[in-house]
Every structure is written in C-alpha cells, then in structure tokens.
C-alpha cells in the first residue's frame, strides 16, 4: 500500500462485499428455493429464507427416477457426469503429454505438420461442426456409448501447448545426463519428465475436470438413451416441460447438486485452478 486512506479502504471492502452478494444472489436463491415445496414457490416471489422441505426435495431427486421427464435419478446422472469428466481429463492429459514429448524431444519428418494439425483443433470447436461430427459418430456406431461421449472430446491443443512450453524449459542437461546413463526415451519420459510435470498435470486436472463436467452440447447430440444422461442433460429435460408447471423446487435442488462438485474443486484447489487457468488458455 502506497498511502493509508482508511475511508477508501472501507469503500473497497464495501464494494467487494456488495459485489460478492450480487454475484452470489442466484445461487443463494437456488439454495433457498430448493428447500420449499412447489406450492410455496408458485404462490409468489421466492421466499428469501429457507423452508422446511430440504430433506424431502433432495431425497426425491437423488433416489426416485423422474418418470415425467423419462429421467434416471440424480445419483445415476451424477455418476455419469463424474465418469465423463474423469475420462476426458485423463484422456486429454495422457494423449497431450505424449504428443508434446514427441514434438519436443524428437526430430522427424512431418513434425511441423503434426504440430499444425493439433493447432487446428483450436479453430474447430464442436459448436461450428455439429452435423458432420454427429454423422461421423453415428457412422462409427458410437451414439449412446461411453466412447462416443468422451473420445471425440479428448483431443486437446491447449494441453499439448502447455506441456510443450513446459518441456522447453526443462534443462537439456537432464536429457544428456540421462542418455549418458543409457536411458532410452521411454525411461527418460517416465522417470524424469513425468515427475517434473506433476504440478502442471495437477493444474490441468482441475481445469479439465470442470471442462468435462459442464459439457452440454456434445452429450445432447450423442445420447438419447437416458441411461447415459449427465446432470446437464437432466437440467435441460427438467426445464423443457411442454405443458404443465416446471417443478422448480426439484430443478433448483438439481442445480445445486450439479454445481457443487466443480465449485468445491475450484475453492479447495484454488492455487492449482488459477495456475491451470492462466497457463492453458491462449
């Protein structure tokens, strides 16, 4: 602090607390709404204090399948979301670290081309090639399968670039020493590069877990079998009611459950999260 201005400091605190309250408002309202029954919610604006239906609403959503929407129960969908997020995280890290290793530590024909092919994925998000990608997955018989849900999302230019950048900073002497000692490329990778990359892998895990958890468009395209629905699909199905009322008390309980895991990851692994965010993007 350059100078001491108590009043300005007070204002700064006030601004941040007010800002936090505004930012947290929708989540607070979701939590309170998830503790009321539907008739309370429908009879006017949402009460600002929690109600008495907490256990009832959450146990309904976690255990009973919502037949009206053809949905499995939330525990099943949460498990699907978890599997999807974990497979995508592990897959992206595995194939990216291997490609970065190949690009940095080997000289071979078409190396430049391989690099550009990986780079191009940045310019082709699923959103811009919805139909043809759907068609490929359908032709390969991968609709409604774990492979279809995860494999097409596993290619990652950003993770590859992050590892490449990191490998470039690893001293050359390590490689020379390893070679003098007779270590081959795979042994060097396993015993030296992999342990050195631990922090980067951790940071990527946090970012990619969130990436996998919040996937929406892709599961929407490739899964029609409710057995494969993730929490995000559940949200969508519960709010698209043709006629009749949206069961807001259950939708809000579902929202709280769907956002809790990634929020906990961010809050408790904040250092890794910030590192991952600022180093992977771009």
Partner 1 sequence: MDTKRTTFNNRLLPYLLLAPQLAITLVFFIWPAAQAVKSSFEREDPFGFSTVFVGFTHYQRLLADPNYLDSLWRTAVFAVSVTVLAMVLGLAFAAAVDRLARSAKFYTTLLVWPYAVAPVVAGVLWWFLFNTSTGLLPYFLERFGIRWDHDLNGTHAMILIIIAAAWKQISYNFLFFLAGLQSVPQSLIEAAAIDGSGPVKRFFTISLPLLSPTTFFLFIINVNYTMFDTFPIVDATTGGGPAQATTTLVYKVYQDGYVGLNLGSSSAQSVLLMLIVMLLTFVQFRFVERRVQY
CA distance 85 to 18: 34
Smallest separation (angstroms) from partner 1 to the CB of 135: 7
Long-range contacts of 4-8 (CB under 8 A, 24+ apart): none
Helix (H) or strand (E) holding 47: none
Q: For the chain, how far is it from start to end, CA to CA, in angstroms?
A: 32
Smallest separation (angstroms) from partner 1 to the CB of 66: 15
CA distance 49 to 57: 16
- Burial zone of 47 (CB within 10 Å; 0-12 exposed, 13-18 middle, 19+ buried): middle
Smallest separation (angstroms) from partner 1 to the CB of 63: 21
CA distance 164 to 99: 9
Smallest separation (angstroms) from partner 1 to the CB of 98: 4
Residue placing its CB nearer to partner 1 in the complex, 20 or 146: 20
CA 282 to chain CA centroid, nearest Å: 18
CA distance 139 to 75: 31
Smallest separation (angstroms) from partner 1 to the CB of 73: 18
Smallest separation (angstroms) from partner 1 to the CB of 3: 6
Dihedral of CA atoms 98, 100, 102, 104 in degrees, nearest 10, equals -150
Residue placing its CB nearer to partner 1 in the complex, 76 or 100: 100
Residue placing its CB nearer to partner 1 in the complex, 141 or 184: 184
Spell out the SS3 assignment of 226-239: HHHCCHHHHHHHHH
Residue placing its CB nearer to partner 1 in the complex, 44 or 244: 44
Smallest separation (angstroms) from partner 1 to the CB of 53: 15
Residue placing its CB nearer to partner 1 in the complex, 72 or 159: 159
**Cβ(213)–Cβ(81) below 8 Å:** yes
- Going by C-alpha positions, the residue among 108, 136, 118 that lies closest to residue 221 is 136
């Amino acid at each position: 602090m350059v100078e001491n201005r108590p009043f300005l400091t007070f204002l700064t605190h006030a601004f941040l607390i007010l800002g936090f309250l505004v930012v947290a408002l929708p989540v607070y309202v979701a939590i309170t709404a998830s503790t009321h029954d539907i008739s309370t919610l429908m009879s006017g604006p949402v009460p600002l204090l929690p109600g008495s239906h907490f256990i009832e609403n959450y146990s309904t959503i976690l255990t009973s399948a919502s037949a009206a929407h053809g949905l499995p129960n939330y525990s099943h969908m949460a498990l699907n979301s978890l599997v999807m997020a974990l497979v995508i995280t592990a897959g992206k890290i595995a194939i990216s670290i291997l490609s970065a290793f190949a690009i940095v530590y080997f000289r071979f024909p078409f190396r430049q081309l391989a690099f550009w092919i990986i780079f191009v994925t940045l310019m082709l998000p699923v959103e811009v090639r919805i139909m043809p990608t759907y068609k490929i997955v359908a032709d390969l018989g991968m609709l409604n399968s774990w492979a279809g849900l995860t494999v097409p999302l596993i290619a990652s230019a950003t993770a590859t670039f992050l590892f490449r950048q990191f490998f470039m900073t690893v001293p050359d002497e390590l490689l020379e020493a390893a070679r003098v000692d007779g270590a081959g490329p795979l042994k060097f990778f396993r015993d030296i590069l992999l342990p050195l990359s631990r922090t980067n892998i951790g940071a990527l895990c946090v970012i990619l877990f969130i990436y996998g958890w919040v996937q929406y468009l892709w599961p929407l395209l490739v899964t029609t079998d409710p057995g494969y629905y993730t929490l995000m699909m559940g949200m969508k199905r519960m709010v698209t009611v043709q006629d009749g009322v949206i069961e807001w008390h259950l939708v809000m309980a579902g929202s709280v459950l769907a956002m809790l895991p990634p929020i906990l990851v961010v809050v408790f692994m904040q250092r890794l999260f910030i590192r991952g965010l600022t180093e992977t993007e771009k």
